[in-house]
Structures are given as structure tokens and as C-alpha cells.
Amino acid sequence: MLPRLATLVENEDPRGLEALDVLYPLTGKAHVVGVTGPPGAGKSSLVAALLDRIRASGRRAAVLAVDPTSTISGGAVLGDRIRMMEQHADEGVFVRSMASRGRQGGLAWATAGLVHLLDAAGYPLVLVETVGTGQDGTDIASLADTVVVVEAPGLGDGIQAIKSGLLEVGDIVVVNKADQPGADDARRLLRAAFDLAHPTDSRETPILPAVAITGSGVAELLTAIDDHVSWLTESGQLTVRRERAARSEVLAGIRMALDRRLEAGSSHMPELASLISRVARRELSPREAVETLTVMLGPSVNS
């Protein structure tokens, strides 16, 4: 039933959404791990290697790959890999991919919905792969309990990675493709940058080498992931993160609902159409039109 239900949730079929409402109280038990990083860093390879490791130790896990075919690094190849994983999935593993294409905003919302479903289905570990550049709105950082940022040597210099802001959200950083030149330098540079930026943090962000295609370093990564959830629990950070996740999901939902209503525009909101026409005729400034429409949301932060 899970694949069918996932499709209903993904398509925002009312039956899927109702099921989510019913299932939601059962969620919150899974450890949600976001795996993000620049295109081609080896996220899918690393997730596949992690799955092998997880299965070998008799644990169960679900994987959600967001947009596996959208990137510059050979989307078709990657799509194949995900499909392969889907086929090989046994009862202890559930692999699902989701495209952001054609989705009118609401990617974070849809991702969260599927994660809740996998959580409710009883998978103790849910891995979510997203492409992260530091500027996109997939919000994996607010959704996940643990964020693994995957970097690789040769994907632009380390300074760029630091400036992108992506590293900031990482609870664990992996320098993948450690079999390639420059990996040690990349790791040293990242270590120095982290220590400079966070000299007094109670927890040091692990920066781990890995070779996803051979599985080297993957056991250490899984240990680091498990250690992080222990740290979250003991430090009370888990509660803080869950609160933040709930907040960002609700706000994302509100934004999406507003966006859609506005997109539906003239047919559902004759006032909007007439305001837009008045702006076009220069009878009303754009700001005045916005003000008129947002009055219903309460006083603006500026006033």
C-alpha cells in the first residue's frame, strides 16, 4: 500500500492528504537524515552505500530522492540508479523518488508530506537526498534532524563551498571522492574554516572522507549519523529542531496556499483582477494594491 499512498500524497489527492492527517500523530519516531550537496558530489552513490551498510546490520530505512533527474551531472544515469534501487528494495528498504518539475512551489511541502508517510510507516531511518547549492528553497535543513553535506574535490574551490552557506547547515560534512586528488586539502580547508567560524560550539562538526563507490568511510559516516541523533536527544536540541521543522512546514504551507490562490487569480478573486487593472492604468500604485490585499493578514511589520 505504501507506494500507492505515496503517489496519492505526492499528487495531493484528497485521499492522500486525509490519510496524512490521520497518520500524523504516529510520526516523529523516525530519524530524518537529509543528504545534500552540489550536483555530482556523489549523494546518490553515498545513499546507496549507506543503504547497503544499514541493511547489512539488519536495520530498516527509507530513502526519498528529490529530483533525481534534474541536474547537470547526467540526470538519466542517475534516474536509472534510483530506479535500480527501487527495484532491489526489499522489505527492509523503501526507495522513492520525487520530481520537483511541474510543481508550482510547494516542493518543501510535498517532501515533508512524504517524509511523514515514511515515518508513519515505521521506518526508523528516513534518508532524503536533495541537490543543495546553498541558495535553493528545498529547506532540507529545517526538515531533517541531521543534515549531511556532501562535497567532493574538484567541484569548485572550498572557499566557494564555504561562501555558499550550504556548509552552515551541515551537522556532518563528507568529503566524498577521497580517491581523487585534492580530497585531503579540501578536508583540511573545511576543518580550518569550521573551527574559525565556530570556535566555541559544544559539538565539533565531523568532516569525514569517503569513497561512495567502494563503500570506504561509509561505516564511519553511519556511526556519525547515529552519534548525532544521540547528541540531539541528550542536548535537548531534538525538541528545538522539531519545533523549527513544524514551524517551517506550517509557514511553507501557508505560503503555498496563498501562492495558489493568487495564481488562480481573477477567477477566484475578482478584487485581485480589478486591483491589477487599476495598477496597469496607473490609478493605484503597486504598493497600494498590495496593501489593500494584505490588510486581511493583519498589520504589516513595517507599520
Ligand X SMILES: Nc1nc2c(ncn2[C@@H]2O[C@H](COP(=O)(O)OP(=O)(O)OP(=O)(O)O)[C@@H](O)[C@H]2O)c(=O)[nH]1
Containing 215, the helix (H) or strand (E) segment is none
Residue 147 contact partner, candidates Mg ion, ligand X, none, CB within 5 to 8 A by sort of partner: none
Q: How far apart are CA 100 and CA 48, in angstroms?
A: 21
Query: HSE (CB half, 13 Å, CA atoms) of 68?
Result: 24
Sheet containing strand 172-175, strands side by side: 93-98, 61-66, 125-131, 31-37, 146-151, 172-175, 207-209
Q: How far is the CB of 221 from ligand X (least distance, A)?
A: 12
Asked if 43 interacts with Mg ion (CB under 5 A), we say: yes
Q: Whose Cβ is closer to ligand X: residue 39's or residue 105's?
A: 39
**Of these, 16, 38, 40, 44, which contacts Mg ion (CB under 5 A)?**
44
Q: How far apart are CA 149 and CA 35, in angstroms?
A: 6
Residue 211 contact partner, candidates Mg ion, ligand X, none, CB within 5 to 8 A by sort of partner: ligand X
Asked if 39 interacts with ligand X (CB under 6 A), we say: yes
* x/- map, 210-249, ligand X, by CB under 6 A: -xxx------------------------------------
Asked if 180 interacts with ligand X (CB under 6 A), we say: yes
Asked if 144 interacts with ligand X (CB under 6 A), we say: no
**Of these, 19, 24, 71, 253, which contacts ligand X (CB under 6 A)?**
71
Q: How far apart are CA 154 and CA 219, in angstroms?
A: 24
Q: How far apart are CA 193 and CA 199, in angstroms?
A: 10
Asked if 43 interacts with ligand X (CB under 6 A), we say: yes
Q: How far is the CB of 168 from ligand X (least distance, A)?
A: 19
Q: Whose Cβ is closer to Mg ion: residue 72's or residue 280's?
A: 72
Q: Whose Cβ is closer to Mg ion: residue 84's or residue 246's?
A: 84
Contacts 24+ apart (CB under 8 A), 187-195: 189/158, 189/159, 190/151, 190/158, 190/161, 190/162, 193/158, 193/162, 193/167, 194/167
CB contact burial 150-175 (16+ within 10 A = b; e otherwise): bbbbebeebeebbebebbebbbbbbb
Residue 42 contact partner, candidates Mg ion, ligand X, none, CB within 5 to 8 A by sort of partner: ligand X
User: 505515496: which residue's cell?
Assistant: 6
Q: What DSSP state is assigned to residue 248? A: H
Q: Whose Cβ is closer to ligand X: residue 16's or residue 132's?
A: 132
Residue 130 contact partner, candidates ligand X, Mg ion, none, CB within 5 to 8 A by sort of partner: none
Ranges within 158-177 binding ligand X (CB under 6 A): 176-177
C-alpha closest to that of 38 among 203, 175, 146? 175
Query: Which 3 state secondary structure label does DSSP give 52?
Result: helix
**Interface stretch with ligand X, choices 37-45, 140-148, 253-261, 291-299 (CB under 6 A):** 37-45
Q: How far is the CB of 177 from Mg ion (least distance, A)?
A: 14
Ranges within 63-92 binding Mg ion (CB under 5 A): 78
> 209 forms bridges with which residues in the sheet?
175
Report the interface residues with ligand X, using CB under 6 A.
Answer: 39-45, 68, 71, 73, 78, 131, 176-177, 179-180, 211-213
Report the interface residues with Mg ion, using CB under 5 A.
Answer: 43-44, 78
